[in-house]
A and B are shown apart, each in its own frame.
Chain A
Amino acid sequence: MPDALLETRALNAFYGDFQALFDVSVTVAPGEVLAIIGANGAGKTTLMRSVAGLLTNAADMVAFKGRPIGSMRADQVAQLGIAMVPEGRQLFPSLSVEENLVIGGQVGRSGPWTLRAVYALFPVLEERRDMPPTTLSGGQQQMVAIGRALMANPEMLLFDEISLGLAPIVIKSIYDALPEIIREGTSAIIVEQDITKAIAVSDRVYCLQEGRIALESASADASRDAIARAYFGT
């Protein structure tokens, strides 16, 4: 698939001696939204960390626009246009809300996302711009984390556990905003525990099980049975 924006090629990822991913090959086409589902410990976060460069692997195990990036550092990957909304938000507590957003734009890529555009998407953040992020609610913090990633004007957005630990109403508003966030031309990988939501927003879905791909399917065709089997390995 030469047109892939991002692909992993038989990715084997390790934490020390422990192998977390086995021969994981995933492709994302330009503009495509991918959902990654799987139980805890299936390797979803490891996959995200490998793509983002927080976990380094053999160079050609991850390719972005055909270029091997598997052994690059996270900051180099970020410069290429891959941004991540990490699990648990992980905002910088020493920076104000606005500084958290501004630092997201530090990679210096131009595009539609500016401070103004992010504030237009999440007006509540503008009201809190000078506050430390620790004073915000969980949902507002997730908005900052998303805004911070958008400020990089990425071509590829990674959402790790996008709704974990958030109230249902907050999750709904985040998903409502998602089409706005993933605009035309931007690709995304969404890691999600809620299978229904994952399938609803994505074009294709992969299910990981114990570090291996157990299912790959167009989201529209994915049957609940097949997913359940891939998810639990029954």
Chain B
Amino acid sequence: MEWVNAIVQGVLLGGLYALFAAGLSLIFGVMRLVNIAHGDLIVLAAYLGLTTTIALGVHPLTSLMIAVPAMAAIGYVLQRGVLNRTLGDDILPPLLVTFGLSVIIQNGLLEIYTADSQKMNAGAIETASLEVTGGISLGVLPLIMFATAVAVIAGLQLVFYRTALGRAFRATSDNQDIAQLMGLNKAHVFGLAMALSLAVVGIAGVFLGIRTSFDPAIGPGRLIFGFEAVIIGGLGNLWGTLAGGIILGVSQNIGAQIHPGWQTLAGHLAFLFVLAVRPRGLFPRIEG
């Protein structure tokens, strides 16, 4: 029963990882950009949530209403101000600039919030749970997070394939020059893509801050989890990303069940295993 429980909890954890991954997957799909600072932006969102919660005295989940639009705005400005200038045939500039950004965010947070570990307190909802069958109970909070992750993925899917914005994303991704001829300003389109990506990061960050304790240094770890979920699921496939997140979460929980020190390691090994047997991921859609 312990094992079944570990797997079920792993599935729920996978929802959070899918949230880490969705934004990463989105901007790669639209502009082939890999944002090394993605994890640090998740942590930044967690601190934004924390500060909002403390300053306004609101529930952590309410802080989403500040954190999400704030992160989206940061994303748009960051893209138009800095990242657009790095895009081109050479992969080095965006990589190194976002790497520099990662170091800046980490140390900036360290200056403001110190290295002390923080956590947002969501109150009674944190301990509430639903008893399923003997021995297995589902926490209400992890369930809410998982449901949100599914809703976010479905929402992104809808935006991507059913709206004018999604059409602009796909057209710009296909051919930037011709998309410009259609009256689409690619700098603006890329800005919107990053805004959407960081809006999802906003949700992911606040959830992270409610679920576990966090400090300025944990960003790279979250980037890696998100990245692993993307690669396991297959590039360019949002539902695949959810599956990748779940596989990662389940692997980690199984690892932890075997030995407490193996949680993260088991996730990495699952990723390397998928890479070895299915280099393009389980459900690939676009070429890397």
Contact = CB atoms under 8 A, between A and B. Distances in A.
Interface of A: 52-54, 73-76, 78-79, 83-84, 86, 90, 92-95, 99, 102-104, 106-108, 148, 152
Interface residues of B, number: 18
B183 A53 contact: no
Contact of B180 (A74, A93, A99): A74
A95 B174 contact: yes
B107 interface: no
Interface stretch (B38-46, B113-121, B164-172, B201-209): B164-172
Contacts of A74: 177, 180-181
A78 B180 contact: yes
A99 B161 CA distance: 10
B55 interface: no
Contacts of B177: 54, 74
A90 B183 contact: no
How would you classify the secondary structure of chain B's contact residues: helix, strand, loop or mixed? helix
18 contacts: A52-B181, A54-B177, A74-B177, A74-B181, A75-B182, A75-B186, A78-B180, A79-B183, A90-B175, A90-B178, A94-B170, A94-B174, A102-B167, A103-B167, A103-B184, A106-B183, A106-B184, A107-B183
Given A95-B170, A99-B167, A102-B167, A75 B175 contact: no
Nearest to A80: B183
A38 to B, nearest CB: 22
Contact of B184 (A75, A95, A102): A75
> Which of A74, A78, A106, A108 lies at the interface centre, i.e. has the most chain B CB atoms within 10 A of its CB?
A74
A75 B171 contact: no
Contacts of A86: 178, 181
B185 interface: yes
Contacts of A95: 167, 170-171, 174
B174 A73 contact: no
B51 interface: no
Given A103-B167, A103-B168, A53 B173 contact: no
Contacts of B167: 95, 99, 102-103, 106
A107 B173 CA distance: 18
A106 B164 contact: yes
A126 B171 CA distance: 20
10 A-B pairs closest in CB distance: A107-B183, A74-B180, A78-B183, A94-B170, A92-B174, A75-B185, A92-B171, A90-B178, A75-B180, A75-B183
Contacts of A79: 183
Nearest to B186: A75
Nearest to B286: A94
B286 to A, nearest CB: 9
Contacts of B178: 86, 90, 92
Contacts of A53: 180
B171 A73 contact: no
Given A92-B170, A92-B174, A95-B167, 11 more contacts: A53-B180, A54-B177, A74-B177, A90-B175, A93-B174, A94-B171, A94-B174, A95-B170, A104-B182, A107-B182, A107-B183
